[in-house]
Structure 1
């Protein structure tokens, strides 16, 4: 069994990671944690990945988030990928992130995704949410974390 946790360091993604780690421990499942970093310094600063004076460096972001994941789930496989400028002119960052999460879920043959999202699965879907398109995929079960604890 394989579990996938998209992780951006937010409170809800941390809660999703904790729950996935507990599930992995009890089910002997493989836990994969995926961080996707859009090629956008402002996006990185908004999420607290970079300090205002820092230059955009995916390696720095990866090291910070890898350490947070390791502290919570030391046996998890951590993957960090850069999402470069979209080739599709109408694509948005959330669309690109959701697309890549679905691709990685297929690559690792994920049985369950643990997603920390305030918006996933709601009837009205904000344009900034990656949760809704991921939660609609029938290829895997989805555990949606909407509350920090």
Structure 2
């Protein structure tokens, strides 16, 4: 059993990871972080802040940066990543995350998403991952986590930083 967090280093993904870490203090299932990286997709990488304006695509550097960011927030988490084709759709990325959650016996998937709580016509990774039937889903919609006193007493969330 595990707690799974799709991670792209956004403020909401960071908040989702911190919340998963807090839940793990209670559930003791282990946190599994997964990133999906479309290969050589410079636009996708820049939109997520993985590359500077003039930087070339460097998959190894992106992975190292994502891993470092995730493990800074959740040092005991296990970090894994997948490289997918350059033109992977959000549905393809979501399918990889759902498979990862299933293969890792996820009980809860923690998703940081701006749009998960709204009606949207466009398919998003978050809404697609949330459709998994083998696990529960916690949607994190704001980078500043609301206080859950018991969790905060066990594991304070104040160290979230970045692009909030």
TM-score by length of 2: 0.82
Matched-pair contact (CA < 8 Å) for 1:9–1:65:
yes
Deviations, residues 48-87 of structure 1 (Å, cap 9, x unaligned): 001122111111001011111111101100001111146x
SS of the residue 1:78 aligns to: strand
Alignment of 1:60-139 (within 5 A): 60-85=61-86, 93-127=89-123, 129-139=124-134
1:125: how far off?
A: 3.6
Determine if contact 2:109/2:136 at 8 Å carries over to the other structure: yes
1:5–1:20 Cα contact (<8 Å) kept: yes
Q: Partners in 2 of 1:137 and 1:110 — Cα distance?
A: 10
TM-superposed CA distance for 1:5, in Å, is 0.1
Correspondence for 1:55: 56
1:144 to 135, 139, 159: 139
Structure 1, unmatched stretches of 5+, are: 87-91
CA RMSD of aligned residues (A): 1.4
Q: Write the distance in 2 (CA, Å) between the matches of 1:115 and 1:10.
A: 11
Aligned residue for 1:89?
Answer: none
- Structure 2: runs of 5 or more not aligned: 145-164
- Give, in angstroms, the shift of residue 123 of structure 1: 2.8
Contact 2:3 2:30 in 1 (8 A): yes
Tell me the TM-score normalized by structure 1: 0.90
Q: Which whole-Å CA distance do the structure 2 matches of 1:145 and 1:82 have between them?
A: 25
**In structure 2, distance between residues paired with 1:74 and 1:82:** 23
In structure 2, the partner of 1:38 is: 38
SS in 1 for 2:35: strand
